[in-house]
Structure 1
Amino acid sequence: MQLVKVGLCAFGMSGKVFHAPFLKEHPGFFMSAVVERSKEESKEKYPESIIYRSVEDMLNHADIDVVVVNTPVQTHYEYVKMALNAGKNIIVEKPFTVTLAEAEDLVRLADEKRLFLSVYQNRRFDRDYLQVQKIIQENKLGNLKEVEIRFDRFRTESSGKQHKENPEQAGSGSLHDLGAHLIDQVTQLFGSPQKLFADIFSMKGKQFANDYFEILLYYANDLRVRLKSSVFSKEAHYAYILHGDKGSFLQERTDDQERELISGVIPEYGKEWTKPLQETDGILNFINAHSETERILTSSEAGNYMNYYQQIYEYIVFGYALPSPGHEIIQNMKIIEAAEQSSKEGRIINLV
């Protein structure tokens, strides 16, 4: 099996939870380098990885084919550009960049260098999203008329993460953080909207970056899609609500991969490594082919973030499709910037 050597730009939560475990368990990857500026926490689980004290040092000395840029979003542009100029392929955490202009510049540079650039949109592999995708593909709801996708939390106090909560830092706040997931999912499901209207602000106060957003997306055929997130949601809502001219589907957010990874569960290659769902997590209510109403309690099948790295490997070795390529995620950045403009100006923004 061809071995792909990878360098990890940071060993914080993202590195410990979303990248290193999968690179360790996938037989096609070898995490040969990791950046830790002052600590050596990676040594315990990844003793084979050489520790570097800076991204620059890793790029200058490490034997790597792919660089995972999993640092704060405010550094993505600098580090991705540096790695591309060093001749390395790129996996970059979401959100891709702070601005659309930065994203476009990096995609152009990657194309010039003939290197791949993929954005780590891991929630394409969440069980709940995959279930929604399946229901839409089965066309049991008929022509969709209204869709709502939410990602709510109850976090009324500061997390202490300045790059996510400082309103003075561009790219901080829920729109870039959670919004990057919801916007990616909706564009995967329905493509690019024609226009949008957004309301974005901080419920915790002006000393914090935005922690609430509501974005109304206008599609052809009168489809309306609402994306919403709040940090003052003690009781869970349905994460996905779909209404069509033949029925409705309600889906809870039940993917537990992040929690299980944090608890130390090993994501075994080629297996469903998450705990099985014990209860139903969705409601499908529709008119069937016999004009009869069916109401079914549904259960989503396991998601698996390993599939992202499997797709990366298959692209490198077999030339299969690259998951979430940079040029595709540029559309998401356009929506983020248009949402910011809409909220600031209080008006609908056309996207086409």
Structure 2
Amino acid sequence: MPEISLEPLKIGVIGFGYVGRVFHLPYIQATEGLALHAICSSRGDEVRKSYPGVKIFDDAKAMCADDALDVVVIASPNETHRPFAEMALRAGKHVVIDKPFTTNLRDAEAVLQMARAAGKHVIIFQNRRWDSDFLAISDVVRSGVLGPIRHVESAFDVFEPAVSDNWRFAKGEGTGRWFDLAPHLVDQALLLFGAPERVTADIQCLRAEAGADDWFMVTLHYRQLNVVLRGSMLARFPAPRFVIQGMKGGAVKKGLDIQEAQLVRQISPSDDAFGVDPDPLRLRHQDGSTQDMPAPRGCHRQFYALLVATLNQKSPLFITEDQMLAVMHIIEIAARAAWEGHTLKLALPEATCRHLQSNSIYENA
């Protein structure tokens, strides 16, 4: 890791809900080179109790105007992502946005255009690039041990039959399970295999009281490869997190990364047991034999460590504009494919496809 500046980057976080409290704040505090400077929330008393000494704002514009801030982290509802990002950019700050980028591709493009004009970085919090399950699958794909890969399933199942009043599942733009999980699942697929050629999608609302979709099956069609992304909120028997079928073998990773569960239990990212995955990846070889391989340790904190190195050295972002926009493009194409009921061609710019392909794990295995 490049040497870190002695002067820590000062961070301000907008939002003190589940995402801000569970995902961002623990990692910010556990990352060398970062200093938590401010939190913007309507729950000031709760913030003050949990983070004494941190500046508290109840107005995002006022926090963004704080000259001491270097980076604004947006951990607020999806519909606020574009206005808060633009507010921070106008104030001369770098911006981290929790997924999804925005509620539509058009807004994402507008935010990036504004960031270029301001000479600042905008980056999406793709923490699940450092999930133990995805790291395990990435290692297997990179090794080439499975031979030519023909079918992949990436599933993220839970069992939550009761409909909560969470805004994520209310009727509205940018809500629902597909919009909630696709930023991660699509990003992982792009990292593994690059840009698909076509997209087929089925996105449904299976719980009668739900205002937004709670089940999806989206297929990314590549040449001689299908990648199926699935998510259900009614899974009493969750599907394996990953299944890969190759011509010389297969791989299955059953369990989910445990970092979120550990953060909910208030286990520190600095704890020796943090991110250690007890569930191995199982390989089945061409001769029918099986082999269990320990999963790499998950490390979401790596996102913020790389952010520090990038901003201090003024280097290009480790999550590129092409990757961020391609994710948004596929999210929208899949929703349209589900609505229209047929497979749609993915019309990404040729330069974007080349970039995604050149950075994909399978292409470079």
Coarse TM-score class (shorter-chain normalised): over 0.9
Of 145, 166, 170, 2:170 maps to: 166
SS at structure 2 position matched to 1:40: helix
The CA deviation at 1:50 is: 0.3
Partner of 1:117: 122
CA RMSD, 1 decimal? 1.6
Aligned CA distance change for structure 1 residues 144 and 95 (closer, same or farther; 3 Å): same
Alignment correspondent of 2:346: 351
TM-score normalized with structure 1 length: 0.93
- Code of the aligned partner of 1:304: C
1:198-217 alignment runs, 5 A limit: 198-205=201-208, 207-217=210-220
How far apart are residue 70 of structure 1 and its match?
0.7
In structure 2, C-alpha distance between the alignment counterparts of 1:119 and 1:303, rounded to whole Å: 19
Are the equivalent residues in 2 in contact too, given 1:147–1:225 (CA < 8 A)?
A: yes
Q: Distance in 1 between matches of 2:120 and 2:289?
A: 50
Match of 2:274 in 1: 274
**Partner amino acid, structure 2, of 1:218:** H
Q: TM-score, normalised by structure 2?
A: 0.90
Residue number in structure 1 paired with 2:235: 233
Q: Secondary structure at the match of 2:51?
A: coil
Question: 1:184–1:43: structure 2 CA closer, same or farther, 3 Å change rule?
Answer: same
CA 1:281–1:237: 2 relative to 1, 3 Å:
farther
Q: Quick one: which amino acid aligns to residue 51 of structure 2?
A: Y
- Are the aligned partners of 1:272 and 1:304 in contact in 2 as well (CA < 8 Å)? no
Offset of 1:316 from its aligned partner? 1.2
What is the Cα deviation at residue 88 of structure 1? 0.8
Q: Please, which of 291, 295, 298 is the counterpart of residue 300 of structure 1?
A: 295
How big is the shift at 1:56? 1.0
Partner secondary structure for residue 146 of structure 1: strand
Closer/same/farther in 2, CA of residues 166 and 242 from structure 1, 3 Å limit: same
**Is the 1:120–1:324 contact (alpha carbons within 8 Å) kept by the matching residues of 2?**
no
State yes or no: 1:46 paired with 2:55: no
Matched residue count = 342
User: Within 5 Å, which residues of 2 pair with 1:1-352?
Assistant: 1-61=6-66, 63-162=68-167, 164-167=168-171, 169-205=172-208, 207-220=210-223, 222-268=224-270, 272-274=272-274, 276-278=276-278, 280-287=279-286, 292-352=287-347
Q: Which runs of 4+ in 1 moved over 4 A?
A: none
**Sequence identity of aligned pairs in percent?**
28
* Superposed CA offset, 1:60-117 (max 9, x none): 2352000001100011011101111111100000011100000111111111111011
String of CA shifts for 1:30-50, please: whole Å, max 9, x gaps: 111100214322223422210
Partners of 1:206 and 1:342 lie apart in 2 by: 24
Moved more, 195-204 or 297-306: 297-306
Matched residue type, 2:236:
K
SS, match of residue 44 in structure 1:
helix
Structure 2 distance, partners of 1:200, 1:113, is 38
Structure 1: 5+ residue stretches without partners: none
Instruction: Give 1:119 shift.
Output: 0.1
Report the alpha carbon displacement of residue 206 of structure 1 after superposing the two structures with TM: 6.5
